[in-house]
Amino acid sequence: MNLYERMQQELQQLASTGNLRSLPQISHQGMKVTVKGMHMLNLSSNDYLGLACREDFREEFLTSINKDTFQPTSSSSRLLTGNYAAYDRLEKQMADLFETESALIFNSGYHANMGILPAVCNGQTLILADKLVHASLIDGIRLSSAKCIRYRHNNYEQLERLIVEHHSSYEQIIIVTESIFSMDGDKADLNELVRLKKSYLNVLLYVDEAHAFGVRGDKGLGVAEEMNCIQEIDFLVGTFGKALASAGAYIVCKKIVREYLINKMRTLIFTTALPPITLSWTSFLLERLPNLKDERKHLTLISNLLKDALLAKGYSCPTDSHITPMIIGESKVAVLTAELLQRKGFYALPVRPPTVPEGTSRIRFSLTAELSQTDIERLIEVIPTISEVEMLRINS
């Protein structure tokens, strides 16, 4: 069997199990999208604060741009000629906001997680990673020279046993977790992880705040702010491409960590830097982030409303955030349920293996502050009960 034949066979297998994916042809009109001629409310965006739809912010930002300040490309890596002044301003802004020694900006969250761990690990490093960490962290772990053990999701008793068992056998142990998990929407107990980190001098803590930055904490800095433990986290990482409606990612950290990554992190060294115009937009929104308290409060309100409704309809819904999974089970049934919701005017998408474990396919509602309470109530009306979904399975 040649390569093309194997590809065709694997694609057919994905199709037979309901796991074949394709890129959608999609157009956007604010909170609405049009796909295959259907006009729907978008429930699958990571624009958690609704900032991508804020025309007032866009208009204000554009007034500050002219032909000299509009720089759409950096044309180089940061270590060559791509380190524009916009980088220095944004990194200082981030360090001041988080009250840390320094900050470092990356092209994306995937770049950050694929690059930091390989840079800081060696053969005498043990990574203890939550079973449900994001694919970017898994890839970063695989690229590193560290040994890795995955502990059961949010099971800190097992994690503590692993630390006790292995702390004397390695130069360093790095605990790796997300703060809000991207598929279940539940959160890690960062204070408990900090306690475990402090149990031995060679234990460090890496936290990915991709889905928490912007929406949690008084100033929107994430779960670490909410739990008052920013200073206790060695590698505090997040993204600008979700709640902040921009692009790129960051780490806030000690100066020595920043300097080390600049010299050792391959995904930073060997890539063209972000465009200065993107950094300026990020900085513009970051200035306004602490004052977006009403948006964060509203997002919490509608998230709780949807979670309560899903539980009442018989679904498992472990969320503690704006990411609200409607766990169904079989991939084909999740696809059918998503199609039903789309016909009712709601662009909700199925999430299937390998993104989630086999048997846990789901509809993942990704809520934003632009959604009204009425929007959520309309959605709740058309969500089928778990028994009605079972009938879809039987009749499919």
Segment 186-210, tens digit of pLDDT:
999 999 999 999 999 999 999 999 9
> Using alpha carbons only, what angle is made at residue 235 by residues 356 and 204, rounded to the nearest 5 degrees?
95
Residue 107, pLDDT > 90, answer yes
State the virtual CA torsion across 141, 145, 147, 148 in degrees, nearest 10: 0
Which domains does the chain carry?
12-54+292-395 (3.90.1150.10), 73-290 (3.40.640.10)
Residue 389, pLDDT > 90, answer no
Q: What percent of the chain has pLDDT over 70?
A: 100
Residue 396, pLDDT > 80, answer no
Which has the minimum average pLDDT: 31-40, 123-132, 174-183, 373-382?
31-40
Report the distance separating Cα 177 and Cα 88, nearest Å. Answer: 28
Query: How far are the Cα atoms of 157, 193, 313 from residue 201, in angstroms, in the given order?
Result: 19, 14, 48
Give phi and psi for 325, each to the nearest 5.
-85, 140
| pLDDT per position as a tens digit, 76-103 | 999 999 999 999 999 999 999 999 999 9
Query: How far are the Cα atoms of 203, 279, 286 from residue 338, in angstroms, in the given order?
Result: 43, 36, 34
Res 387: pLDDT:
87
Query: How far are the Cα atoms of 214, 243, 245, 260 from residue 33, in angstroms, in the given order?
Result: 24, 19, 17, 43
Label residue 316 by pLDDT band (50, 70, 90).
confident
Res 313: pLDDT:
94
Report the distance separating Cα 97 and Cα 131, nearest Å. Answer: 31
Residue 54, pLDDT > 80, answer yes
Report the distance separating Cα 41 and Cα 17, nearest Å. Answer: 28
Res 83: pLDDT:
96
Rg value, the chain, Cα: 22
Residue 119, pLDDT > 80, answer yes
Question: Across the chain, what does the average pLDDT equal?
Answer: 95
Res 391: pLDDT:
82
CB atoms within 10 A of CB 376: 21
Residues 286-298 have a mean pLDDT of: 98
Peptide bond into 354 cis (omega under 30): yes
